Structure 1
Amino acid sequence: MRVLRFSAIAAGAAILLYGAVGLLTEPQIQQPGNVAAWLAGGVLLHDAVLAPAVFALCWLAARHTAPRSRRILAGVLLVAGATLLVAAPILLHGRVAIR
């Protein structure tokens, strides 16, 4: 278990380093500080808005559903949330966010 954990941490650190080097050496990015602010804003938005909203919705759903159907509801909400994140730019702006 210790070897598996170390391998997962090492792989994650390598991927993080690869992404950071790619971001900093990309010639199209003129102001890396703006990218850092955007990433920090994403973390802040997730921690201050998205996570509490999901927690509140799950708490409400758990109170108003039978114990047998909670797993199914959790799966449905997970898939619906992921689909909404991908589809939101198209629905709101009529374009794909990833270029």
Structure 2
Amino acid sequence: MDLPQRIQNFNRALNMNDILPHHTQQKINAFFAQVQRHARGPEAPGDTGLMAKGLISINIEAVREIVLGIDRPDPVKQHLYRMLDEIKDFACSLLGN
């Protein structure tokens, strides 16, 4: 799926206020589960933790690009950016410093 299609899907989801909170919570839970799996890697936990932090950053930046393209007022986008920063900080804190 290309970026314009993802943006269109994201806009559609934002217009479905009754679905978005549940959908978002599922995605966040799945994301944290993925981070925790990477952090408990069997070979080199330190390297795996570093890799997981990189994956977190890449995922957050990808979502930031989607937010940038949505048709919403800037205060809404700023709120979404703050939420993304909080999610990133929390996910990284699960992995330790």
Same fold (TM over 0.5): no
Report the structure, 1 or 2, having the larger helix content.
1
Which protein shows a greater Rg?
A: 1
